[in-house]
Structures are given as C-alpha cells and as structure tokens.
Amino acid sequence: MATIPEQLKQFGFGYDVLSQKGYRVIEGFGFIVHLNISDKMYTLRVPCAVRSPEEAAQMNGAVEAYLRNPQYSLKSAGYDGRMISMCYATKNMVLNLSDNLGTLVELCMNTIRQFNAVPVCGSCGRADNLSVYGLENRVECLCPQCFSDARSKISEKVREQSERVENVPLGVVGAIMGGAAGAVIWLLFSLMGKIVFVAGMAAAVASFFAYRRLAKKVSKLGLILSLVIGFVMMLIGMYFAIGLDVFNGLKDIGAPVSFGEALKLIPDYIRLNTGAVLFNNIFGVLTYIGGAVICVMQYRNDNKIKGRAVLLASDNKI
Ligand SMILES: [Zn+2]
C-alpha cells in the first residue's frame, strides 16, 4: 500500500514530516490534514469566513448534514464561524486516505462555493492572501503579516535558547532517575517470570527525556551521556534481576543464602546457565537499542524544528 505522503500526493497535498500534517492551497483556501495514524483517523480543516452569524449557522447546518449521510462515514463535522472541520475515521486496518480524502475536499469546496465563503488567516481571522507555513513543529495557514510576526517571535525564541546553558549535572541526575525507572521495570518483569522485552527501551527513553527536561538543552554530549547512563542503569537492573533468580533458585532447592551472597554467585550462575541467561536478557538489550534510536531521532527532530519558519504552499507552489 502507498505510504501516507504518497497517498497525500495523489490528491495534490504535500506532507510535512515534522508536524505529521498534509497541506494544500486550493483557490486561495488553505487545506490542512491532521493525521492521527494510531487511531486511523484524519481531520481536514479549512479556515474560511462568511458575512454574517446567520450564514455561519446555515453553513454549519450544511456541513453537519454531511455527518448524517452514511455515504461519507464522518466521525464529526462542523463549521464554527472560522473553520470547517471534517473528521474521517477509516474502517481499514491502517489509515487509508485514498478512500475518502478526495470526497472530503470536494465537500468542503462545494460548501465554500454555496455560501460564498472567503479564505481567512488562521491567526487574525482577516481575509487576505493566504499561504501555508511550517512554523517549528506546526503547520499554519496565515496571512503575510501574521507569518512575519510569527517568524520574528520564533527567531526571538531561538536567540533566547542559544543563550541558555545546558545544565549537565542536573541532566545527569535526571538520566540516572530515568534509567533507574527502566531498571525497576526490568526487575518487576523478571520477578513476574516474564521475558524482559520493553524494559531496555524504557531505560533509554526515560533517561534521555529526563535529561532533556532537567538540563533544559541537549547537546551531542548530553545525548551520549544520557544514553550511556540509561545503559548502565539497565545493566544494574539486569544484575539484580539475575541475583534474585539465584536467590530464589537456591531457596527453592533448600539451600538458602543471603541476597548479598546470591549476588556474589552470579558469575558462576552465568557460567552454568549461559543459554538461559542470554535468552532471558537479550530481548531487553535489543529493545534498548530500539529506545536509543528513538532518542537519536527525537534529538535530530528537536534541532530540525528549532527556528523553522518556512513557506510550504501557496496558490502557485506546492
Ligand atoms: Zn493574519
């Protein structure tokens, strides 16, 4: 099946990876598709205005009528005086735009023509020459003035951020706490006799996000530090989990030792049960790698959206 960006392209829509939204300008109107991939839904939004509240109410009635038509299978639809929105929930296993996006665009355009609606800026609400812009992790349909205002606000923010200092010690504290949470999950899984699948991922992700939160800024060093700390904490969790196995195992066969002694017996235990120990822990370690990949992607995304203020589409450019 075609990917989401390919499906959007079939309908002349562009896809903005950073905000996960589709966008297109049709006859001066900005169309934005908000994708909810996990819930297999998407919402089409078009900012536009009519001349009076009475007309707005009539237009809302017209849009809501689509909602009652089983042919379109809409989840919600309406017009609030500034924006038409139509939410479609796909019945397929995965989000599929090609079965209905074209129809929804057509319904929107028909309604717009029927009520002589005009395109308006999503921010100030004035009718003007509109384009779709990518602003940090958002996509917005704005007039040139609002875009220019938004752009200065963003560059102000970037200046502020660059003056901010990364608080490495506090970040490290966060990473240790986050990693410890992963270690605890590892122990709990192991205590329940389950194979430790997600605990590695939890250690990596919690470490990185806690570092990011407390350090207020993440450099490459911060990224590496948080991932190393997450890994070490995960190993500590693994160490105690194996220690518990030894402790419980010896108790079961009637040769109890203290938990401290059980920890000392770990190397022997591993030597005698290499296969089982490997099998019980390899998945957790592998998911750590998956978690680390998520963190690196988030780090790169953070840097990509920083200061972003670009034109995505206007009437003559997609
Ligand atoms: Zn505006």
Maximal CA-CA distance, the chain? 86
Q: What is the pLDDT along the chain (318 residues), one digit of tens a residue?
A: 788 899 899 999 999 999 999 999 999 999 999 998 888 889 999 999 999 999 999 999 999 999 998 888 899 999 999 999 999 987 777 777 777 899 999 999 999 999 999 999 988 988 888 999 999 999 999 999 999 999 999 999 999 888 889 999 999 999 999 999 999 988 888 888 777 778 899 999 999 999 999 999 999 999 999 999 999 999 999 999 999 989 988 999 988 899 899 999 999 999 988 898 888 888 888 999 999 999 999 999 988 889 999 999 988 544
Neighbours of 199 (CB within 10 A): 31
Among all chains, which residue has been given the structure tokens 């999950």?
185
Q: 150 C-alpha vs ligand 1 centroid, how far in Å?
A: 10
CA of 318 relative to ligand 1 center, distance in Å: 20
How far is Cα of residue 143 from the mean position of the Cα atoms in its chain?
28
What would the 3-class secondary structure string for 113-153 be? HHCCCEEECCCCCCECCCEEEEECCEEEEECHHHHHHHHHH
Spatial separation of the C-alpha atoms in residues 143 and 123, rounded to whole Å: 8
Class of domain 4-161: alpha beta
**What's the pTM?**
0.74
**pLDDT at residue 316, rounded to an integer:** 58
Predicted pLDDT at 71:
86
CA of 28 to the centre of ligand 1 (A): 14
How many whole angstroms from 125 Cα to the centroid of ligand 1? 6
pLDDT at 162: 85
Domain regions of the chain by residue span: 4-161, 168-305
The closest of 180, 195, 179 to 295, measured between CA atoms, is 179
**Residues 14 and 141 sit within 8 Å (Cβ to Cβ):** no
C-alpha of residue 127 to centroid of ligand 1, in Å: 8
Strands (E), 136-251: 138-142
Give the pLDDT score at 318: 43
Distance CA 131, CA 147 (A): 9
CA of 41 to the centre of ligand 1 (A): 29
